[in-house]
Amino acid sequence: MAGGSLAVTRLAHVSFATKDLNTQAAFYTDRWGMEPIEEHRGEMFFHAETPDHHIFQLTSGDATGLDHVSFEVGSAEDLDRARDLLASHGVEIVTPPTAGLEPGIGKAMRFKDPEGNVVELVAGVDRVNDGYGPRDVKPKGLNHVVLFASDMGKMEAFYRDYLGFQKSDELPHFMTFWRCNANHHSIAFCAAHQGETGLHHAAFDTKDWQEFLSAVFWMGERGLIREWGPGRHLAGNNLFAYYKDPEGNVVEWTAEVKQITDPNYVAPVRQPGPRTADQWGSKPPMSGN
């Protein structure tokens, strides 16, 4: 942790709130190809091909949508420094650095961003090297999370100045894309309309374009309606296909996301046009996509 920002190193996992834990769990196991690895106090944790203990979580309760988004930092000591830094700037701390907050996580803390989304920082993610059997399709991992933003400037400043994210791309008056490592974006913000808040979508990686196409095929075979795609985004240059889970959360299959390794990289500002969202020319059916 250097200067006035935190040493966020990568996106760790995303958690959805759910009113129907069993139905949601069946969707993410049977259709999305993950494996429940642990159940704990009304929460379920899901493993993918990555060795991380979990990349996805369902939290049972009275709400749906985003419960929290989680990022890893370098060490448990960083969490204590993060608490002090955020509190000194008036950020609401939901849970101070705590051991055992989640299975598979050494220590974690939670706080709220400027629009009330719960953000978690974790240190000490357990590794699970055992496979979990054949699936027609499996996520390689969690690639990025996109949030609605009613005040883009505040959200960008918060994640840049306090969490250390760097801008990778911009679609003016539409979306901005932010990285914490080589991956083109681990978090992005979409301009909100008509009171949209919280989760825009969460994107799960496939290994390559062949597995991406296999995922699209198997979603169709299982009767899952595609909301948008397949296509290829301009920002990030990634393949995409969007779906909705049983409670309406938008989830994406993706592949070939751009990796940024040039230390002198400068984010382009792209002018809006007919192929801004999809280089193949399709128009997004969902608000903000």
- State the 10-residue block means of pLDDT for the chain, 289 residues long: 72 98 97 95 95 97 97 96 95 97 96 98 94 91 98 97 96 93 98 92 97 97 95 96 98 98 93 80 67
The pLDDT assigned to 229 comes to 95
Partners of 145 in the beta sheet? 187, 202
**Confidence (pLDDT) at 133:** 86
**Cβ neighbours of residue 95 under 8 Å, at least 6 residues apart?**
101, 108, 109, 110
Strand order in the sheet with 118-125: 35-40, 43-47, 56-60, 8-18, 65-73, 118-125, 105-112, 93-99
Domains with residue ranges and CATH for the chain: 8-125 (3.10.180.10), 141-255 (3.10.180.10)
> Residue 30: what pLDDT?
95
Q: Are strands 118-125 and 239-244 parallel, antiparallel or unpaired?
A: unpaired
Q: Residue 159 to residues 14, 39, 188, 270, 287: CA-CA distances in angstroms?
A: 16, 31, 10, 21, 23
Backbone angles phi, psi at 165, to 5 degrees: -70, 155
CA distance 155 to 208: 32
Query: What's the pLDDT score for residue 276?
Result: 79
Q: How many helices (H) and strands (E) does the chain have?
A: 4, 16
Contact 212/140 with Cβ under 8 angstroms? no
Residue 283 pLDDT: 84
* 8 A C-beta contact, residue 107 and residue 95: no
Nearest Cα neighbor of 197 from 66, 106, 56 is 66
How much is the pLDDT for 286?
57
pLDDT of residue 49: 94
pTM for the structure as a whole:
0.94
The DSSP output letter for 28 is: I
Tally the residues of the chain.
Answer: 289
